[in-house]
Structure 1
Amino acid sequence: MNSLIEWFAKNGVAANLLAIFIAVVGFVTIGTLRQEVFPEFSSDIIYVQVAYPGAAPEEIEEGISQKIEEAVYGLTDVKKVTSTSRENSSSLMIELNPGTDAARALDEIKTRIDAIDTFPEESEKPVIEEIIMRKQVINVAISGNASEATLRHYASDVRDRLMALEGITQVELANVRELEISIEVSENTLRQYGMSFDELAMAIRKSSVDLPGGSIKVNRGGEVLLRTKGQAKEVEDFEKIILRTLPDGTQLRLGQVANIIDGFEENDRESYFNGVPCALVKVFRVGDENAIEISEIVQQFTQNTAHLFPEGINLTTWQDDSVYLAGRRDLMIRNGLTGFCLVFMVLALFLRFRLAFWVSLGIPISFLGTFWLMPTLDVSISMISLFAFIVVLGIVVDDAILIGENIHAHHEQGTPGLKGAIAGAIEMAKPVTFAIATSIAAFAPLIFVSGNTGKIMKYIPLIVIPTLFFSLIESLFILPKHLSHLKKVEDIEGGKGFVGNWRRFQNRFVTRMDQFVMKIYKPSLRWCLEWRYLTMSIATAVFFITMGLVGGGHLKFTFFPPVEGDNIAAAVSMPLGTTSEETQLAVKKIQKAAYEVRDELDAQTPEGYPSIVRHMLSSVGSQPFMTDQSRSGGSVASSIVGAHTGEVHIEASPSEERKFNAYDIARRWREKVGEMPEAENLQFTADIFQAGDAINIVLTGANFKELIDASKWLKIQL
Structure 2
Amino acid sequence: MKAFINLLVQRGLVVNLISVFLLAIGIYATISINREAFPDVNMDQIMVSTVYPGASPKEVELLVITPIEQELRSLDGIDKMISMSFPGSGRITLEVDPDAKNRSQITNDISLAVSRAKLPSELPFDPIVTEIEGSIIPIIRLAISAPISDLKLKRLSNDIKDDLLTIKGVAKITILGDRKAEIRIEVDPEKLNREHVSIIDIQNAVRGWNINAPGGDITTEDGQKVVRIAGELYSAEDAGNLVLRTNASGDTLRVKDVANVVESLSIPRMTYDVGGKPGISMLVLKKSDADIINTVDRIHDYINNISQKYGEDVTISSFQDFSKFTRMRLGVLTSNGKVGLILVFISLILFLRFSVAMMATIGLPIIFMSGLFMLYMSGITLNLISMMGFIMVLGMLVDDAILIGENITYHMEKGMAPKVAAVHGAMELMGPVTASILTTIAAFVPMMFMSGIIGKFVIAIPIVVIMMLALSWLESFFLLPSHVAHFTNPNKHPKERAWLIALDTVYSKVLTIALKFRWITVGLSVAVLVFALSLAKTMPFQLFPPAGVDEFMVRVTADPGTSLKAMRNQLRVIDKALRQNLTAEHVQATLITAGEIAMDLGDPLTQRGSRYGQIRAIYTPAVSRPDHNVMDEMYAAEHIITAQFPELEIAFTAIQPGPPLGRALEAEINSDSEEKSNTAARRLIAFLNDVKGVTSIDSGLKRGDDEIHVVMDRELATYAGVDLATASSIVRAASGGLVVSYIHKGSEEVDITIRYPESDKGGLDILKSIQIPNRRDGLVPLSRVAHFEVKEGFTTIRHKDAIKIINVTADIDSDKITSKALNTLVQENQNEWLGDLTDKVNVNYGGEEEKNNESARSLALAFM
TM-score where L is the length of structure 1: 0.83
Q: CA deviation at 1:437?
A: 1.9
Q: CA deviation at 1:647?
A: 0.5
Q: Which residue of 2 aligns with 1:29?
A: 29
> Bigger relative contact order, structure 1 or 2, given CA contacts below 8 A and separation 6+?
2
Change (3 A) 1:25 1:310: closer
Q: Which residue of 1 aligns with 2:651?
A: 682
Q: Which residue of 1 aligns with 2:683?
A: 713
Q: CA deviation at 1:286?
A: 0.6
In structure 1, C-alpha distance between the alignment counterparts of 2:353 and 2:285, rounded to whole Å: 51
Q: Which residue of 2 aligns with 1:540?
A: 526
* Residues 41-440 of structure 1 mapped to structure 2, 5 A cutoff: 41-98=41-98, 99-119=100-120, 121-122=122-123, 124-133=125-134, 134-144=136-146, 146-181=148-183, 208=210, 211=213, 234-236=235-237, 238-239=239-240, 262-306=263-307, 308-309=309-310, 313-440=314-441
Q: CA deviation at 1:615?
A: 4.1
Q: CA deviation at 1:211?
A: 4.7
In structure 2, C-alpha distance between the alignment counterparts of 1:220 and 1:441, rounded to whole Å: 84
Change (3 A) 1:340 1:142: same
In structure 1, C-alpha distance between the alignment counterparts of 2:118 and 2:50, rounded to whole Å: 14
In structure 2, C-alpha distance between the alignment counterparts of 1:516 and 1:121, rounded to whole Å: 86
CA contact (8 A) 1:618 1:649 kept: no
Change (3 A) 1:583 1:197: closer
Q: CA deviation at 1:130?
A: 0.7
Change (3 A) 1:319 1:299: same
Q: CA deviation at 1:84?
A: 0.7
In structure 2, C-alpha distance between the alignment counterparts of 1:437 and 1:220, rounded to whole Å: 86
Corresponding letter in the other structure for 2:504: V
In structure 1, C-alpha distance between the alignment counterparts of 2:242 and 2:76, rounded to whole Å: 47
Change (3 A) 1:243 1:64: farther
- SS of equivalent residue, structure 2 residue 22: helix
Corresponding letter in the other structure for 2:164: L
- SS of equivalent residue, structure 1 residue 9: helix
Measured against aligned partners, the alpha-carbon deviations of 1:78-107 in whole angstroms (never above 9, x if no partner) come to 222111112111100012121444433222
Q: CA deviation at 1:431?
A: 1.9
Picking from 673, 688, 693, the partner of 2:663 is 693
CA contact (8 A) 2:547 2:629 kept: no
Picking from 473, 480, 504, the partner of 1:517 is 504
CA contact (8 A) 1:63 1:120 kept: no
Q: CA deviation at 1:400?
A: 1.7
In structure 1, C-alpha distance between the alignment counterparts of 2:234 and 2:518, rounded to whole Å: 88
Q: CA deviation at 1:63?
A: 0.8
In structure 1, C-alpha distance between the alignment counterparts of 2:650 and 2:259, rounded to whole Å: 43
In structure 2, C-alpha distance between the alignment counterparts of 1:118 and 1:251, rounded to whole Å: 41
Change (3 A) 1:262 1:546: farther
Deviates more, 1:642-651 or 1:345-354: 642-651
Measured against aligned partners, the alpha-carbon deviations of 1:25-78 in whole angstroms (never above 9, x if no partner) come to 222233322222222333221111111122222221111111111112222232
In structure 2, C-alpha distance between the alignment counterparts of 1:298 and 1:220, rounded to whole Å: 55
1:559 equivalent in alignment to 2:543 = yes
Q: CA deviation at 1:705?
A: 3.5
CA contact (8 A) 1:50 1:89 kept: yes
CA contact (8 A) 2:142 2:282 kept: yes
CA contact (8 A) 2:150 2:265 kept: no
Corresponding letter in the other structure for 2:544: F
Change (3 A) 1:683 1:253: same
Change (3 A) 1:595 1:562: closer
CA contact (8 A) 1:615 1:652 kept: no
Corresponding letter in the other structure for 1:700: N
Q: CA deviation at 1:217?
A: 10
- SS of equivalent residue, structure 1 residue 136: strand
Measured against aligned partners, the alpha-carbon deviations of 1:190-246 in whole angstroms (never above 9, x if no partner) come to 99999997897677667656656677999999x988776666564345556788999
CA contact (8 A) 2:596 2:607 kept: yes
Deviates more, 1:130-139 or 1:420-429: 130-139
In structure 2, C-alpha distance between the alignment counterparts of 1:253 and 1:408, rounded to whole Å: 102
Corresponding letter in the other structure for 2:300: Q
CA contact (8 A) 2:418 2:490 kept: no
Change (3 A) 1:422 1:105: same
Q: CA deviation at 1:581?
A: 5.4
In structure 1, C-alpha distance between the alignment counterparts of 2:477 and 2:244, rounded to whole Å: 86
Change (3 A) 1:2 1:568: same
Measured against aligned partners, the alpha-carbon deviations of 1:150-202 in whole angstroms (never above 9, x if no partner) come to 43233223222323345544333223334345556699999999999789767
- SS of equivalent residue, structure 1 residue 289: coil
Q: Which residue of 2 aligns with 1:529?
A: 515
Change (3 A) 1:264 1:536: farther
1:645 equivalent in alignment to 2:620 = no
Measured against aligned partners, the alpha-carbon deviations of 1:518-542 in whole angstroms (never above 9, x if no partner) come to 23x3333333333334333333333
In structure 2, C-alpha distance between the alignment counterparts of 1:398 and 1:534, rounded to whole Å: 30
% identical aligned pairs: 27
In structure 2, C-alpha distance between the alignment counterparts of 1:233 and 1:448, rounded to whole Å: 60
In structure 1, C-alpha distance between the alignment counterparts of 2:357 and 2:290, rounded to whole Å: 39
Deviates more, 1:59-68 or 1:34-43: 34-43
**RMSD (CA atoms):** 3.8
Q: CA deviation at 1:471?
A: 1.4
Corresponding letter in the other structure for 1:162: L
Corresponding letter in the other structure for 1:709: T
1:619 equivalent in alignment to 2:579 = no
- SS of equivalent residue, structure 1 residue 37: coil
Change (3 A) 1:204 1:14: farther
Corresponding letter in the other structure for 1:454: G
Measured against aligned partners, the alpha-carbon deviations of 1:385-414 in whole angstroms (never above 9, x if no partner) come to 222211221222222222122222222333
Change (3 A) 1:514 1:185: same
Picking from 515, 536, 539, the partner of 1:550 is 536
The gaps in structure 1 that reach 5 residues or longer are 493-502, 603-610
Corresponding letter in the other structure for 1:707: S
In structure 2, C-alpha distance between the alignment counterparts of 1:75 and 1:576, rounded to whole Å: 41
In structure 1, C-alpha distance between the alignment counterparts of 2:340 and 2:225, rounded to whole Å: 72
Measured against aligned partners, the alpha-carbon deviations of 1:342-367 in whole angstroms (never above 9, x if no partner) come to 11111111223232222122222222
Q: Which has the higher strand share?
A: 2
Deviates more, 1:196-205 or 1:133-142: 196-205
CA contact (8 A) 2:169 2:287 kept: no
In structure 1, C-alpha distance between the alignment counterparts of 2:354 and 2:226, rounded to whole Å: 81
In structure 2, C-alpha distance between the alignment counterparts of 1:44 and 1:363, rounded to whole Å: 39
Measured against aligned partners, the alpha-carbon deviations of 1:328-355 in whole angstroms (never above 9, x if no partner) come to 1111111111111111111111223232
CA contact (8 A) 1:44 1:97 kept: yes
Q: Which residue of 1 aligns with 2:580?
A: 596
Change (3 A) 1:306 1:575: same
CA contact (8 A) 1:590 1:673 kept: yes
